[in-house]
Structure 1
Amino acid sequence: MIKIKSHSGIYTLTVHQKINTTLEEAWAFFSTPKNLTKITPAYMGFEITSDLVDSMRVGQIITYRVAVLLGIKSSWVTEITHVEKNHFFVDEQRFGPYSMWHHEHIFELNQGKVWMTDRVSYKMPFGILGHLLHALFVKRQLLDIFNHRYQTIEKYFR
């Protein structure tokens, strides 16, 4: 289930997904930065431009090029700010298309299945114009991206 709610000028997108795998396998996949390319829609032209490492660590900076709106490519810089192995990690935008981007990746074991929660809190730039862009384009695009991720993850962990 994917939903977006608005509060105090910030939007929060939440995705809950049951994954048919072990906690260790889920962590190994999602905590490897290069795997982000595998779950991002091809039309976004997603490309990691920083040196790739096999696992993440607190303080790690990852840079990307990605088509964020209407095919226009943008640079994006994120920092891994929190990591608790097999439980959660957080990436935060340092430079990029949003005024704020805080993405929590949470992994919980429940009845022998892994439940993954993506929670993205973000703020649009440009004030009222940003909110209009969100209503016209960005909300739909984010729902499409995370729906694609959801479906890709379902197939990958089948």
Structure 2
Amino acid sequence: MTDLAAEPRACFDLSLSVDLHTASMAASEERAVAGVTSGVMGPGETVTWRARHFGWTFTMTSEISEHDPPHRFVDRQVRGPFGRWWHEHAFEAVPGGTRMTDRVDYAAPLGPLGRAVDALVLARYLIRLLEERNAHLVRELGPLHR
């Protein structure tokens, strides 16, 4: 969960920004290479990301498969390295701003080997990436003070 000092609609829209995502993932050199490559994504739109993780270049195409402004949206992998990737972004109005909650359901690739890598490093790595993206949102929108 991340608390932001902005209304849900502002948080919702900024979370759909390809440009913000790219800026927040600069450490992994993530960039949009196809589909929507800048601006705010909408329902049914796709973006193909290319990034370096663990020293390898990965490409993943995701689609905004559910879109319920300003409450929630879901991006899901349509092509890419994961066996499955589903990421829900939920936004709840709270006094002074918005509480944003990420829910992720994924399956590592490569069967038993992928599950072992997931248990050893991948789960923590993905949590850190989400925390970095959310910290970037806080820098843009401000932290919620109670």
- The two structures have a TM-score, normalised by structure 1, of 0.81
Deviation digits for residues 82-127 of structure 1, max 9, x if unmatched?
Answer: 1111111111001111100000011111224201011110011222
Report the equivalent of 1:110.
Answer: 94
Q: Structure 1 stretches (4+) deviating beyond 6 angstroms?
A: none
- Pairwise CA RMSD: 1.6
Alignment of structure 1 residues 95-134 onto 2, 5 Å? 95-134=79-118
Identity of counterpart residues, as a percentage?
A: 27
Q: How far is the alpha carbon of 1:79 from its aligned partner? A: 1.0
Partner residue of 2:17 out of 27, 32, 36: 32
Counting matched residue pairs gives 141
Report the equivalent of 2:123.
Answer: 139
Q: How far is the alpha carbon of 1:53 from its aligned partner? A: 4.9
Q: Distance in 2 between matches of 1:38 and 1:151?
A: 11
Report the equivalent of 2:48.
Answer: 63
Q: How far is the alpha carbon of 1:150 from its aligned partner? A: 3.2
Q: How far is the alpha carbon of 1:22 from its aligned partner? A: 1.5
Code of the aligned partner of 2:136 = T
Deviation digits for residues 36-72 of structure 1, max 9, x if unmatched?
Answer: 11222x231101012435332222111110123x220
Unpaired runs of 5+ residues, structure 2, are none
2:49–2:59: 8 Å Cα contact kept in structure 1? yes
Code of the aligned partner of 1:35 = L
Secondary structure of the 1:81 match is: strand
Secondary structure of the 1:49 match is: strand
1:76 equivalent to 2:76? Answer no
1:52 equivalent to 2:37? Answer yes
- The two structures have a TM-score, normalised by structure 2, of 0.87
1:92 equivalent to 2:76? Answer yes
1:44–1:71: 8 Å Cα contact kept in structure 2? no
